Amino acid sequence: MVIIGIDPHPNSHTAAALDLNSKVLSHLTISNDSKGIKELLIWLKSYDISRCGIEGANNPYARDLSSSLLTKGYDVVDVKPALSSQYRSKRGSYKTDEIDAENIARALRANPELNSFSASKQNSELKELSRAREALLDYRKALKLSMQTMRSKVVTKSQTRLIKSIDKEIKALEKKMQVIVDELMPELQSLLGIALVRAAEILAETADIRRFKTKHSYAMFAGCAPIERSSGKHKRRQLNKGGNRRLNKTIHMIIQTRLCFDEATKAYIDKKLKQGKTMRAAIRCLKTYVARQLYTFMLANTLEHPERWVGG
């Protein structure tokens, strides 16, 4: 079995093939176009592929590559730069695209629990829409803060018009988000604390829920499941600072909404506090619960409507 690591760039992609003992078998550099991807697919046929790791599989310049590999049935994994960089530091100051591709493959080999990559066209667009909306909100907030110290009426009127324009653009983005959410999983908005924006964020970061083997693996992906850190007789768990931070933040906001309106959520927190946990620890427990609830709901919905995810 062979593990493939691919270092993508706007103009070219470099791939490395490693066996299960991390021995480098060969390299290939291709152009970032249909001709280059075709050349890569021919090269891959020479090996019995286990998994293909791509650093930034959902980046704009890597989407055609990722989509082509998925279409051909390869198990694609989005390897985060933080993982591959651990191996780069062991190689000294040397850095080339070939070395980077090797490190991506090594990171994939050392982390077999990494989930397969899956992203439909709608999923990619949802990511861009939600990030654009977030950026506009940040800009709007900055303008509102700056207006508090403004004395010039001309500048104030100018910024007021700009804020109205931003509000208009935010609503336009939300309309487009609503269309995609309705295509993928409108039922998600029926869950307490999940309106349009939260549903879009969850779908954007999760993609096809079937790529997660269990609800625990999904909670780990969201950074909501504690990590075991045991040694000898000492058994303990600690906060998971990894995972998808955007999804983690979304789940946190869902909990904050439920704490205001849901008696069951309030009772859950009270129970944890009576057990001696701090408020922060109780919230972390609730995050795990909500992540697993989302997994169960989305998996059942996807299995009921698999046609919505065709072409991922």
Q: Is the pLDDT of residue 290 over 90?
A: yes
- Yes or no: say if 305 and 311 are a contact pair by the CB < 8 Å rule: no
Of 257, 258, 253, 252, the closest CA to residue 285 belongs to 252
- Yes or no: say if 223 and 241 are a contact pair by the CB < 8 Å rule: yes
Which has more confidence, 23 or 230?
23
Instruction: Give whichever of 40-49, 75-84, 219-228 has the largest mean pLDDT.
Output: 40-49
Which has more confidence, 103 or 242?
103
Query: Distance between the two ends of the chain, CA-based, in angstroms?
Result: 25
Mean pLDDT (the chain) is 88
Backbone angles phi, psi at 46, to 5 degrees: -75, -10
pLDDT interval class at 89 (50, 70, 90): low
pLDDT interval class at 179 (50, 70, 90): very high
Average pLDDT, integer, range 87-101? 73
pLDDT interval class at 85 (50, 70, 90): confident
Q: Is the pLDDT of residue 91 over 60?
A: no
Taking CA atoms, 75 is separated from 5, 27, 203, 236, in Å, by 12, 19, 21, 34
Average pLDDT, integer, range 102-131? 85
Average pLDDT, integer, range 115-128? 80
pLDDT tens digits, 203-235 = 998 988 988 889 998 998 898 887 655 455 545
Which pLDDT score, from 0 to 100, does residue 148 have?
Answer: 87
Of 94, 106, 93, 35, the closest CA to residue 65 belongs to 35
Average pLDDT, integer, range 52-62? 86
Q: Is the pLDDT of residue 237 over 60?
A: no
Average pLDDT, integer, range 89-116? 81
Which pLDDT score, from 0 to 100, does residue 193 have?
Answer: 95
Average pLDDT, integer, range 186-201? 96
Which pLDDT score, from 0 to 100, does residue 312 have?
Answer: 45
Q: pTM of the prediction? A: 0.73
The yes/no answer on whether domain 2-110 falls in CATH 1.20.210.10 is: no
Which pLDDT score, from 0 to 100, does residue 267 have?
Answer: 94
Which pLDDT score, from 0 to 100, does residue 241 have?
Answer: 67
Q: How many helices (H) and strands (E) does the chain have?
A: 11, 7
Which pLDDT score, from 0 to 100, does residue 275 have?
Answer: 92
Task: Kindly list the domain boundaries of the chain, sorted by start residue.
Answer: 2-110, 121-185, 209-309
Handedness of CA 132, 133, 135, 139 (dihedral sign): positive
Q: Is the pLDDT of residue 201 over 80?
A: yes
% helix, strand, coil for the chain, step of 5: 60, 15, 25
Q: Is the pLDDT of residue 304 over 90?
A: yes
What share of the chain has pLDDT > 90, as a percent?
60
Measured between alpha carbons, how far is 64 from 38 in angstroms, rounded to an integer? 11
